[in-house]
Structure 1
Amino acid sequence: MGVGRRLAVAVVMTAGAVLVSGGGVAAAQAATPAAVHTLTLPAAPAGHVTAAAPFVAPHGTLRLGAKGAAVKELQTRLRELGYVPGRLDAKYGGTTQSAVWAFQKVQGLSPSSTINARTWRALENPKVPQVLVPNGKPDRVEINLTKQVAVLYRAGAVKLITHISSGSGIPYCETATWQGKTQRFCGDARTPTGNFKTTWRRSGWHKSYLGQLYNPVFFNGGIALHGALSVPLFPASHGCVRLPMHVAAILPGLLGTGVPVHVKGRFQR
């Protein structure tokens, strides 16, 4: 199989990675999401419900793997509201699933792969994300650890809303080869709350002593917003903020250096 073909296959595989655990270094290095760069966001930020177009939900229930016109309506509506469902391809896969999770969490619904009457009604009359910093800068990121959601604001309006997985809070000690030496690293796996700013970043896969980070944007020492092959419905990282791969592919282009990052809340298991 040629290189181009392998990369294309890797993208398709990683599109569903938010639903599964695992994905080692080899898989991470192979998964270069070239195709997701074709994603587009709404021409105007759609965070304010009053600015969103009227929406009449279709009837019926959708489950992961569904295809058809109703799925495309779901994807289109999510994108109108600032979520990132991936391509509007009428296929309910992993990228759309991560956007559904984010939407459901913002609406106060239990995240699920099933689109039922409650989720359709919420799509007709959606709530905006809770503002964590009412007097924050017009351009900023707010990370809600309680809901496991991140919101990017541009010019004071919601530009992007995404599902995340933050630090697990479970202390760890791991042995890794770093800078040519076998070393042991220990930590508390927390994502510290507070007010920070974006600093340095890397494009593509970046190897750290605790694993692989895709398109990391650092904001608190070694803690970054970054893409990962596993972004489950609970905090699971060593302390970074994991993003779905297709979101991490576009976020660096929307998020400059020195942009405030506010981390608030606490996840209750």
Structure 2
Amino acid sequence: MIVRAAIVVALVLAFSPAAAAATPPTIRVSATTASGPAPLRVVFTATGDGVSYHWDFGDGSSAEGASVEHVYGAGAFTARVTATGAGGETSTTSLRVLSLAVTLKSRGIAAYGQHLRFTGRLVPAIRGTRVSLYAANGSRAARGRTGRGGRFNIGIPVRQPMAYTAHVGGAVSNSIVARVRPALSAGFLGSGVVGQPLRLVPKVRPRAAGPVKVDVRRRGRLIAAGEFASGARIRLPSSRAAEYRITLSTSGAGGYARSRVSLRKVVFRPRLAVGSRGPSVLALNEALHHLHIALGSIDASFGLDTRDAVVAFQKLHGLPRTGSVDARFWRLLLMAAAPRARYSGDHIEVSKALQVLFVVRAGRVVLVSHVSTGATGNTPVGRWHVYSKVPGWLPDGMFDSSFFLRGFAIHGYPTVPFYPGSHGCVRVPLWLAPRIYSYDPPGSTIYIY
């Protein structure tokens, strides 16, 4: 009887609910928000048949209870909740939370109408997220997307001072105030010829940047000064040859940055030739030097070096090769830019079509000279290298010679016609030959085209 009773008890225990396999509690999780700007306040709620709930918020902090509240700093987090049943069984589920923060940077100043670059970063670093740049007036200025590391780069043209912020998923960055540097320029009414009326017309864009402060000097002496509206006409004396140094500036009020520009205007005697002297010649030599056209000296005397420089300019611009200056020459000179090299690097170029020589350094023309190549067109075209140099005079009149192919050389010569007139060499003026000689050491490259 005792044995039979034990068997019955064992069977009852084997089939009782307590002996059945434990079932984890069911659990459902909700959150007031899963994404938003930092600091992000989230209320989590867990429901189910658990008797207790433990929360791990993913940022090193935790809490207990079916409903909990947590504030996240910027970043991406995984919140986990573990439910415990009456019998000690557990189950876990999780929820992804994005707490967004965006920063914005810029140098803050751009010239009128130019692009201002804004850079920034989104935390957490999510690639491909849309970023919108908004102006303080509520208009959207531009859009972009985040790249590696959550970084972004957006550029916009600026025409007026304005504050900007970057917006990502409800997160708003710090504000950056963009300042505008006004565009200053000046026009002139009149040719600049002695005796003809001449007026300075200052201009500022935008006009809202305020008046233009004008300072006009001749040989350091103040001729005109004051604040003028954009488009004002300021008379400049033109009864005698002169060079005016003009400074335009703005004060930088109203969110605009300060702006300043310097320029010059020459009142010239239109006709100059060898033997001329005075401020018109000085202005001529300074203008030629600014274009890297070779001169012996920059002074108020029109010598043979000025004549050769004038011829070089005339060759470059298709003018008659007279060696003297007229009104047409002045008009082109005051608008001209330095010539450009055909090839990069350090070398010398000779244009047979233009009859000019360029000394080129780092791809930029640093010296221009008029030359004369072969009268029959026999100066060899191609890429050559200096293989021999002979300083001083040779019996046939060549001076400071740099040979680049057989008997062909770049050299000084007593006469350098304004047209192709040599036996095949590249002739340069005697006064300039030593400088050219110093620019083409053995092995240096010569391009002739």
TM over 0.5: yes
Query: In the alignment, which residue of structure 1 is the partner of 2:384?
Result: 196
Check conservation: 1:57, 1:123, Cα contact below 8 A.
no
Q: Distance in 2 between matches of 1:126 and 1:230?
A: 28
Match of 2:374 in 1: 167
Alignment correspondent of 1:145: 352
Paired with 2:356 and 2:307, the residues of 1 have a C-alpha distance of 14
Work out whether residues 359 and 366 of structure 2, in 8 Å CA contact, stay in contact via their aligned partners in 1.
yes
Q: Which residue is equivalent to 1:206?
A: 394
- The alpha carbon displacement at 1:245 in A equals 0.9
Residue pair 1:85, 1:97 contacting (<8 A) in 2 also:
no
Note the C-alpha offset of 1:261: 1.0
Runs (5+) with no aligned partner, structure 1: 1-52, 170-188, 265-269
- 1:34 matched residue in structure 2: none
Could you list the runs of 5+ residues in structure 2 that have no partner in the other structure?
1-261
Q: How does 1:40-55 map to 2 (within 5 A)?
A: 54-55=263-264
Match in the other structure for 1:177: none
* SS of residue in 2 equivalent to 1:219: strand
- Pick the aligned partner of 1:120 from 323, 330, 340: 330
TM-score relative to the length of structure 2: 0.40
Instruction: String of CA shifts for 1:136-177, please: whole Å, max 9, x gaps.
Output: 3410111111111111101211111000011111xxxxxxxx
Task: Name 1:261's counterpart in structure 2.
Answer: 446
Superposition pairs for residues 6-85 of structure 1, below 5 Å?
54-60=263-269, 61-85=271-295
Cα distance in 2, alignment partners of residues 214 and 190 from structure 1: 20
Please give the alpha-carbon distance, in whole angstroms, between the structure 1 residues aligned to 2:351 and 2:264: 27
Displacement of 1:59? 2.2
- Percent identity, please: 33
Map 1:99-114; keep pairs closer than 5 Å.
99-114=309-324
Question: 8 Å contact 1:55–1:124 — kept in the other structure?
Answer: no
Which AA in structure 1 matches 2:448? V
Query: SS at 1:56's partner residue?
Result: strand
Bigger fraction of residues in strand: 2
Once the 2 structures are TM-superposed, how far is the Cα of residue 89 of structure 1 from its aligned partner?
3.3
Tell me by how many angstroms 1:130 deviates.
Answer: 5.5
Instruction: Please say if residues 401 and 410 of structure 2, whose CA atoms lie closer than 8 Å, have aligned partners that are also in contact.
Output: yes
The answer to whether the 8 A contact 1:138-1:153 is kept is yes
CA apart distance, 1:230: 0.3
CA radius of gyration, larger in: 2
Distance 1:81 1:148 in 2: 17
Q: What SS does the aligned partner of 1:158 have? A: strand
- When the two chains are superposed, the root-mean-square deviation of aligned CA atoms in Å is 1.8
| Number of positions where the alignment pairs a residue of Structure 1 with one of Structure 2 | 187
User: 2 CA distance for matches of 1:103 and 1:56?
Assistant: 19
Give how far 1:127 is off. 3.8
Shift of 1:58: 2.7
**SS, match of residue 57 in structure 1:** strand
CA drift of 1:111 comes to 1.8
Alpha-carbon distance in structure 2 between the residues aligned to 1:250 and 1:166: 19
Could you say which residue in structure 1 is the equivalent of 2:361? 154
Kept after mapping to 2: 8 A contact 1:107/1:126: no
Larger RCO (CA under 8 A, 6+ residues apart): 1
Cα deviation for residue 121 of structure 1 reads 1.7
Instruction: Tell me what 2:420 maps to.
Output: 235
The runs of at least 4 consecutive aligned structure 1 residues that moved more than 6 Å come to: none
